[in-house]
Amino acid sequence: MRLDLDLRATGQHVIDRGDFHVLFKALRRRGYQVVGPRVRDGAIVYDALDSVDDLPQGWTDEQDAGHYRLKRREDPALFGYVVGPHSWKKFLFPPHLRLWRARRNGDDPGFEVQPEPLPDTKYAFLGVRSCELHALFVQDRVFLGEKHADPVYKALRERAFLVAVNCTQAGGTCFCVSMRTGPKAQGGFDLALTEVLDGERHYFVVEVGSERGREVLQDVPHREASPQEVAQAEERVKQAEGQMGRTLDTRGIKELLYRNLEHPRWDEVAQRCLSCANCTMVCPTCFCSTVEDVTDLKGETAERVRRWDSCFSLEFSYLHGGSLRRSVKSRYRQWMTHKLATWIDQFGTSGCVGCGRCITWCPVGIDITEELRAIRESDGLTRGGGEEA
């Protein structure tokens, strides 16, 4: 197998299934902790991987509103699933993070504050879908702003190595085509793979997206892809485009929601919504958090921690005197309107990437695409009313 290809003079490349394990070795040799999909607790989740054997070979998932089931495939695909309950944000924007700790110095009434050191972990994310790449770009706008960059996110994000995997099948709640975020990764990765199973052949068509990716690929047995192999990969991605389980009409979406803040659909969805925050926990772009200060019983140590929070929490909008969003209606409206409208004003992009997780993992099967469709179909027919509490 040739390892001395001049990658600058070629287009796409092929890694055979039998050589795929070498990618793990190449990444670990460079100090990366490989993280990717594996089967655990009845789902495909993102966790540390020791070898290619940890990948969900031969597994897929069945998804619909409020429904997720693992199923066996009829082939040994490594990436033949869609997306599960985890997103990559849990590694870059940890659910629970200590910001600093303080300790009392003997009888001195003061405290010595000890800032938490920045993490030095180098993650290699294996299996990043195109919609998830777009989610990372959205979070970059939130956490890497020119004036107020989050130091922990910045330290982890700059070191991360991204191995994208193009989708060759869509799920029952996917609508990335509507959001123009998939199913094929267009950029922002170090390497991008398309898995192809063709009879007895099993291989990955590889696209290089960065110099780091080029260097890693040089250490993995590969060859230049033939036009037929590239066509096979493109055909499988094309199939995924036509398999979307959901669609979302994004025409004038911001203005549509702004002029329907008192639409009766908000009352209807509030009767079903449990305000459980599942949708925000599984969402790859939601970034709400809260800060807590904790002390020990002796008053000798204290620490400040940041943890994930949700706009569905009654306490999240609490100000002195009470909560600004006391009803489920107001909290659901805040989430959906922020995601699809005010996010555009705030960050110049939609906060939704069409992954469908919020639909799948809603215990009562509330469907954001259906809610928007209902509002659009009766747009302007019912207006008026005041803000409810």
DSSP for 202-215, written as a single string: EEEEEEE-SHHHHH
Classify residue 387: in a domain, yes or no: no
| Cα(70)–Cα(76) distance, integer angstroms | 15
Classify residue 384: in a domain, yes or no: no
| Cα(184)–Cα(206) distance, integer angstroms | 12
Q: Does residue 261 sit in the same domain as residue 231? A: no
Contact by Cβ (8 Å): 68, 190: no
Domains identified in the chain, total number: 2
Nearest to 353 by CA among 375, 368, 363, 366: 368
Q: Does residue 266 sit in the same domain as residue 286? A: yes
Contact by Cβ (8 Å): 294, 303: yes
**pLDDT of the chain along its 389 residues, tens only?**
323 333 333 379 999 999 999 999 999 999 999 999 999 999 999 999 999 999 999 999 999 999 999 999 999 999 999 999 999 999 999 999 999 999 988 777 778 888 899 999 999 999 999 999 999 999 999 999 878 899 999 999 999 999 999 999 999 999 999 999 999 999 999 999 999 999 999 999 999 999 999 999 999 999 999 999 999 999 999 999 999 999 999 999 999 999 999 999 999 999 999 999 999 999 999 999 999 999 988 888 999 999 999 999 988 888 888 878 889 999 999 999 999 999 999 889 999 999 999 999 999 999 999 999 999 999 865 444 433 33
| Cα(203)–Cα(185) distance, integer angstroms | 18
Q: Integer distance in angstroms from the first to the last C-alpha of the chain? A: 68
Contact by Cβ (8 Å): 224, 14: yes
Classify residue 330: in a domain, yes or no: yes
Q: Does residue 135 sit in the same domain as residue 213? A: yes
Classify residue 305: in a domain, yes or no: yes
Q: Does residue 82 sit in the same domain as residue 221? A: yes
Q: Which domain holds residue 81?
A: 9-94+105-241
Q: Does residue 232 sit in the same domain as residue 320? A: no
Contact by Cβ (8 Å): 47, 32: no
Q: Does residue 218 sit in the same domain as residue 284? A: no
Q: Does residue 191 sit in the same domain as residue 337? A: no
Q: Does residue 314 sit in the same domain as residue 181? A: no
Q: Strand 161-165 to strand 123-128: parallel, antiparallel, or no bridges (unpaired)?
A: parallel
Q: Does residue 231 sit in the same domain as residue 322? A: no
Q: How far is CA 145 from CA 123, 138, 159, 346, in A?
A: 22, 11, 18, 12
Residue after which a domain boundary falls, among 172, 206, 241: 241
* CA-based R_g, the chain, Å: 23
Classify residue 306: in a domain, yes or no: yes
Contact by Cβ (8 Å): 175, 371: no
Residue after which a domain boundary falls, among 241, 275, 305: 241
Classify residue 2: in a domain, yes or no: no
Which residue type does 289 have? S
Classify residue 266: in a domain, yes or no: yes
Q: Does residue 338 sit in the same domain as residue 367? A: yes
Q: Does residue 192 sit in the same domain as residue 324? A: no
Residue 226: Cβ within 10 Å count: 12
Residue after which a domain boundary falls, among 241, 268, 292: 241
Classify residue 229: in a domain, yes or no: yes
What are the φ/ψ torsions at residue 118 (nearest 5 degrees)?
A: -70, 145
- pLDDT for 380 equals 65
Strand pairing partners for 34?
A: 124
Q: Does residue 280 sit in the same domain as residue 369? A: yes
